[in-house]
Structure 1
Amino acid sequence: MDGKNVEILITSVEMMSVVSRAQVYADVNLQKPREYWDYEAHTIEWGDIDNYHLIRKLGRGKYSEVFEGMDMSKGECVPVKKKKIKREIKILENLRNGVNVISLRDVVKDPMSRTPALIFEYVNNADFKQLYQTLSDYDIRYYMYELLKALDFSHSMGIMHRDVKPHNVMIDHKARKLRLIDWGLAEFYHPEEEYNVRVASRYFKGPELLVDYHYYDYSLDMWSLGCMLASMIFRKEPFFHGHDNYDQLVRIAKVLGTDELHEYMKKYSIDLDPRFNDILGRHSRKRWERFVHSENQHLVSPEALDFLDKVLRYDHQQRLTAKEAMEHPYLFPIREQEKENWAATRGVHSGSATADTGAEPMLYDVRYDATSTSNTSPSVAQITRLKSLVDVCQSKETSFASIPLSFKMLFNWLINHFVKMLTISSIWIDMLASICHCTIRPTCIPLTRDHRDARTFYPDARSSKIEEIQRFRTVLCRTHGTVARFHITVHVARFMQIFQSFHNLYPDEADGFDGKSMIRHLVAQDAQIRTGQLHNNECGIVHRALVVKA
C-alpha cells in the first residue's frame, strides 16, 4: 500500500507544470483591497430600468444577449446586454473611464427574469469583415496602437481580457474611435493562480490554452492581438484556421514549427495530449515573408513582420507586453502623430502638418526636437530611434513593392535636419518629400510618370527643371516597381551611413555637400544592381564621390 502511495506521489510530481509569473503588473491585485477583485462579494448598485426602452435585438453570445435600446432620459441609443453573472460588472466598474475600454453606463435588472442588464455607451461599429478590407497600412497601425492602449490599461489594473478578437473590437472608422468590448471572460490576475483554459475564441487561443497550461497571464491577450494583426496585414481571416482546438495547435505549429513547440513544453514541463501524436507531425518554422503576395504587400513592412514575430511566440514570457509593443518601431509613426496632435491642441505651433488632401499625416517632424538640437546636428536619441528602424530593415530580406515607413521617416528626418547642410533647392526638397508621401509642404509632387503633374505643381518652373524632375521621377517609378523591390531597404542603411560618416569625416565641408549628386549616385547604383553590374555587397559608401569641393 505504501509503495502505491509513493508511486502515485511521484507520478503527480512529474506531471506538475512549471509555474510562470507575469512579466509586468504581477502584483497589482495583491496591492489592492479585497473588495477590488472579490466580485462574488460585490454589491451591485441597480439603476432604474424604466429609463430604458428596448428597440431591437442585435445579437446573441454564448453567455448573453445584446439589444439596441434607448436611454429615455437622454434620447441616446445604448447597447443593452442581458447577463447572468456579475464578474463582468465588477470588472467594468473597475475599468470605468479607462482608455478605449467600452464605458458601462448603468446596470438594471429585468423585473421578470431578475437578470442583470448592462447599459453601455453606443459605438457606430462597422462590420470588421468589410472594414478590414479597406484599411490602409497606416490605419492598421493606428487601430493596433489604440487596442494596445486598452490592453495596457486593463493589465495595469490587474485584469486579463481573455477574449480579444475582431468581434470584440468595435471600430467607428469615421470617428477614428476604437472600443474593446465584451469583458465577460475577463478575470483578475493573481500570481501562481491556476486559470481555466476554456477561454478565448478558437482562432485566437494562445498555445498555452491549447496545451492545457493553467498558469497563463496578460500575455494571452498579446497572442490574440498578434492573430488579429496577422489576419489584417496578410488579408487572411482568420490567420490560424483550425477546425477544433487540436487542429488549432497543429495550424500554429505549421507556422511556428514543432521543434519550437516541444522546447516550450519542455521549459514549462507540459505533457502534450496523446491525441496530438497522430495529427501534429513535424514542421519547420516558416518565414513571415511567405505569407506576402501581390494583394497584401502594401500592408506589410519589415517593422510589421518584426512586431508580429515578437508577439506570436509560443513562450508567453517572451512575448512583448502591451507597453513594450506600443514602443515598437512599427508604431513609431502613430506615436509621433499623436505627439504632434497633443502639441497642436496646446498651441505649440500653428497650422496643421498635414495638407487637407486626405493624405496620411507626416511621419516624422523634427519640431519636437527643436529645443534640444540644431538642424545640422542630430541628437543621439534621434539617431538611436532611426537606427533601430534601419536594423529591422536590414534583418529582413524584404520583398515588397511598397516603401517601408522606416524609409519614409528616414527621408523626412534627413530633409529636416540637413536642409542647411545640403545644397538642395526647395524643388528638390519637395521631390524627396513626395517620394516619401510626406507633407512637408502642400506642393508635394505625386510619384507618377505624368509630365503634366510637374507643370501643375510648379507652373513657374523652367522647362529644363520640369524635364529634370520628370526624368528623376521616371527612374524612381522603375526602381520602385517589381524589378528592384529589395534595394529600397538597402538605401535605408546606406543613407544612414552616408550622413553619419559625412558628418564625422567632413565637418568643415557641409556647404559643399551636393544632395543631387548623392541622389544620382544612389539611383546609378540601383541601375547597376538591376542590370547585374553591381552586387548588393559591393555597395560601399564612396564619401569623396558625394562631396563637391568649393
Structure 2
Amino acid sequence: MSISIRTTQVPHTSRVYSTALAFVPESEWNSSSNEIEWGNPDSYRIIKKVGRGRYSDVFLGVIENGKYPCAIKVLKPIKEERLKREILVLQRLARVSDVIKLYDCVINNDNKTHSLVMEYVQGVDFRTNFPLFTPREVQLYMKHLFSGLDESHKLGVMHRDIKPENLCYDKERDVFKIIDWGLAEFYHPQKPLNYRVASRYHKAPELLFEYTYYDYGIDVWGAGIVFATLIFRQSKALPLWRGATNEEMLQRIAEFFGKKELMNIIERCGCVVGKTVFDGIPNTADADFKQFINKENEEYATEAALDLLSKVLVLDMDKRFTASEALKHAYFKEEYE
C-alpha cells in the first residue's frame, strides 16, 4: 500500500552535474533509440556459480583465448529497455576505476539467454568482511565508494541501489568495485523518475515518501548508511535504521531527526504522507550519532567520522553533501597506524 498521496510534485534540479548529459549524443544514454550488438558466447566458459540476484545469476568464467577470469552475468527475462540501459550505463562508465568493467554482451542462440561478460573481482561477503575491517580499511573503502560515485555522477549516472551487497572489495589488493548497475539511470534535470528503487534499509527519505524528482543524492544517502554500518560495527552488519515497510523506515528516520523538518521537506516537495504516519513522534530530536558509540566501535567512530556522517545523512537533499564534498572532508585526512 502506498504511504504517500501524490499531489502535484514540485520539480527539483540537482545542484551538481545537472547538465552532465546536455551535450552527450542521445545514442549514448537513450535506451529506446539504441540497439545492442550481441556477440557469441563461445569465447567464454563457465566455471562455477558465484552469486545470484533477483534479475540474474552470476558465474565465474574464463575468456578462452587467454584463460583470463571473468564474471558472466546470466540475465533472467527482463524488459529490453532495462537491459539496454544497464549496458549503456556500463559503457559510459568504462573508464571509472571503481566501477566494474563490461567486456562483452552475448546471446545464446539456442535458448535466447542474454549474458553480460564482466570484470571479475575476488571479493569477500560483506558480512564476513565488515567485522574484520580496521579503521584504516574503513577509510579506504569509503574513499573508493565516494570516488566511484562522484565519477559516475560527473558522467550523469545514478546507481540507485547502493548497499553492501553491491560493493565488492578485495582488501588485500585494495581493489574496489561498485557492481550491479541494473537499477541505474541517467540523470536529466526535472525529469520524473521511478521512486521504487534501492533497497528499503538504504532508501533516501525522498524515495520513502515517493518523490520522483530526486537526484544523485540518493546514492550519497545509501553510502552514508553503509558508512554508519562500518563505523558503528553493527552486529551482523545491519544498517542504522530498520523497518519492515517504507512507512516504518520513515518513522525510524523521523524518530532520530524529529518529524518537523521531515514533514516540512515532504510538503516542500509537493508530497503528502498519510496523517497518522508520524503520530506520537516528537517534532524535534537530538539527531546525535554519538548515541551509537560503544567500547567496541569508539576507535572507528571518531569525531571526524561522525561529522562526515552527519553531513551525508541529511534529510534535505539540497543540503546533503555530494560525493565530491564528502571526499574533501577531514575524515579522509585522518592518519591510522
TM-score, normalised to structure 1's length? 0.57
The runs of 5 or more residues in structure 1 that have no matched partner are 1-11, 334-362, 364-404, 406-436, 438-550
2:240 is the alignment partner of 1:239: yes
Could you tell me how far 1:116 is from its partner in structure 2?
1.8
Q: Is the 8 A contact 2:46 2:59 kept in 1?
A: yes
Query: Residue 141 of structure 1 aligns with which residue?
Result: 139
Q: Is the 8 A contact 1:92 1:183 kept in 2?
A: yes
Q: What SS does the corresponding residue of 1:164 show, helix, strand or coil?
A: coil
Query: Residue 25 of structure 1 aligns with which residue?
Result: 17
Query: Residue 109 of structure 2 aligns with which residue?
Result: 111
Q: Is the 8 A contact 2:254 2:278 kept in 1?
A: no
Q: Residue 67 of structure 2: which of 72, 75, 81 is its match?
A: 75
2:155 is the alignment partner of 1:157: yes
Quickly say closer, same or farther: Cα 1:153–1:169, change in 2 above 3 A.
same
Q: Is the 8 A contact 1:206 1:223 kept in 2?
A: yes
Query: Residue 85 of structure 2 aligns with which residue?
Result: 87
| Letter in structure 1 aligned against 2:29 | W
Could you tell me how far 1:209 is from its partner in structure 2?
0.5
Could you tell me how far 1:275 is from its partner in structure 2?
5.7
Give the alignment of 1:502-513 within 5 angstroms: none
Q: What RMSD in Å do the two structures reach over aligned CA positions?
A: 1.9
Quickly say closer, same or farther: Cα 1:113–1:240, change in 2 above 3 A.
farther
Instruction: Could you list the structure 1 runs, at least 4 aligned residues long, displaced by more than 3 angstroms after superposition.
Output: 277-283
Q: Distance in 2 between matches of 1:113 and 1:105?
A: 22
Query: Residue 49 of structure 2 aligns with which residue?
Result: 57
Query: Computing the radius of gyration over CA atoms, which structure comes out larger, 1 or 2?
Result: 1
Q: What SS does the corresponding residue of 2:50 show, helix, strand or coil?
A: strand
| Letter in structure 2 aligned against 1:45 | E
Q: Distance in 2 between matches of 1:275 and 1:106?
A: 50
Q: Distance in 2 between matches of 1:86 and 1:36?
A: 11
Query: Residue 175 of structure 2 aligns with which residue?
Result: 177
Which structure would you say has the larger RCO, counting Cα contacts within 8 Å and 6 or more residues apart? 2
Could you tell me how far 1:248 is from its partner in structure 2?
1.2
2:212 is the alignment partner of 1:211: no
Q: Residue 39 of structure 2: which of 47, 56, 69 is its match?
A: 47
Quickly say closer, same or farther: Cα 1:109–1:279, change in 2 above 3 A.
farther
Q: Is the 8 A contact 1:29 1:190 kept in 2?
A: yes
Give the alignment of 1:291-310 within 5 angstroms: 291-310=292-311
Q: Is the 8 A contact 1:211 1:273 kept in 2?
A: no
Query: Residue 199 of structure 2 aligns with which residue?
Result: 201
Q: Is the 8 A contact 1:39 1:86 kept in 2?
A: yes
Task: Give per-residue Cα distances to partners, 1:311-349, cap 9 Å, x unaligned.
Answer: 10111111111111110111124xxxxxxxxxxxxxxxx
Q: Is the 8 A contact 1:102 1:180 kept in 2?
A: yes
Q: Distance in 2 between matches of 1:282 and 1:65?
A: 46
Q: Is the 8 A contact 2:135 2:300 kept in 1?
A: yes
Q: Distance in 2 between matches of 1:196 and 1:60?
A: 24
Q: Is the 8 A contact 2:146 2:326 kept in 1?
A: yes
Q: What SS does the corresponding residue of 2:143 show, helix, strand or coil?
A: helix
Q: Distance in 2 between matches of 1:179 and 1:267?
A: 36
Task: Give per-residue Cα distances to partners, 1:219-254, cap 9 Å, x unaligned.
Answer: 110000000000110112121111121111112122
Could you tell me how far 1:283 is from its partner in structure 2?
6.1
Could you tell me how far 1:190 is from its partner in structure 2?
0.4
Could you tell me how far 1:46 is from its partner in structure 2?
2.3
Quickly say closer, same or farther: Cα 1:279–1:212, change in 2 above 3 A.
farther
| Letter in structure 2 aligned against 1:311 | V
Q: What SS does the corresponding residue of 1:299 show, helix, strand or coil?
A: coil
Could you tell me how far 1:130 is from its partner in structure 2?
1.4
Name the stretch that deviates more: 117-126 or 65-74. 65-74
Identity percentage of aligned residues: 37
Q: Is the 8 A contact 1:88 1:186 kept in 2?
A: yes
Q: Residue 34 of structure 1: which of 26, 30, 45 is its match?
A: 26
Give the alignment of 1:9-20 within 5 angstroms: 15-20=7-12
Q: What SS does the corresponding residue of 1:242 show, helix, strand or coil?
A: coil
Q: Distance in 1 between matches of 2:220 and 2:175?
A: 20
Q: Distance in 2 between matches of 1:277 and 1:297?
A: 32
More helix as a share of residues = 1
Could you tell me how far 1:26 is from its partner in structure 2?
0.2
Q: Is the 8 A contact 2:29 2:85 kept in 1?
A: no
Query: Residue 257 of structure 1 aligns with which residue?
Result: 258
| Letter in structure 2 aligned against 1:95 | L
Q: Is the 8 A contact 2:100 2:177 kept in 1?
A: yes
Q: Distance in 2 between matches of 1:277 and 1:226?
A: 24
Name the stretch that deviates more: 206-215 or 80-89. 80-89
| Letter in structure 2 aligned against 1:68 | L
The runs of 5 or more residues in structure 2 that have no matched partner are none
Query: Residue 273 of structure 1 aligns with which residue?
Result: 274
Task: Give per-residue Cα distances to partners, 1:383-414, cap 9 Å, x unaligned.
Answer: xxxxxxxxxxxxxxxxxxxxxx7xxxxxxxxx
Q: Distance in 2 between matches of 1:317 and 1:305?
A: 20
Query: Residue 453 of structure 1 aligns with which residue?
Result: none
Q: Distance in 2 between matches of 1:55 and 1:99?
A: 26
Q: What SS does the corresponding residue of 1:155 show, helix, strand or coil?
A: helix
Could you tell me how far 1:210 is from its partner in structure 2?
0.5
Could you tell me how far 1:60 is from its partner in structure 2?
2.2
Give the alignment of 1:334-345 within 5 angstroms: none
Could you tell me how far 1:49 is from its partner in structure 2?
0.5
Q: Distance in 2 between matches of 1:134 and 1:323?
A: 27
Q: Distance in 1 between matches of 2:275 and 2:63?
A: 54
Task: Give per-residue Cα distances to partners, 1:113-148, cap 9 Å, x unaligned.
Answer: 323200111101011111111111111111111111
Q: Is the 8 A contact 2:258 2:281 kept in 1?
A: no
Task: Give per-residue Cα distances to partners, 1:49-108, cap 9 Å, x unaligned.
Answer: 001112222232122221222221121221111224221011101111212110111111
| Letter in structure 2 aligned against 1:123 | V
| Letter in structure 2 aligned against 1:50 | D
Could you tell me how far 1:281 is from its partner in structure 2?
6.6
Q: Distance in 1 between matches of 2:301 and 2:107?
A: 48
Q: What SS does the corresponding residue of 1:243 show, helix, strand or coil?
A: coil
| Letter in structure 2 aligned against 1:107 | C
2:73 is the alignment partner of 1:96: no
Q: Distance in 2 between matches of 1:116 and 1:90?
A: 15
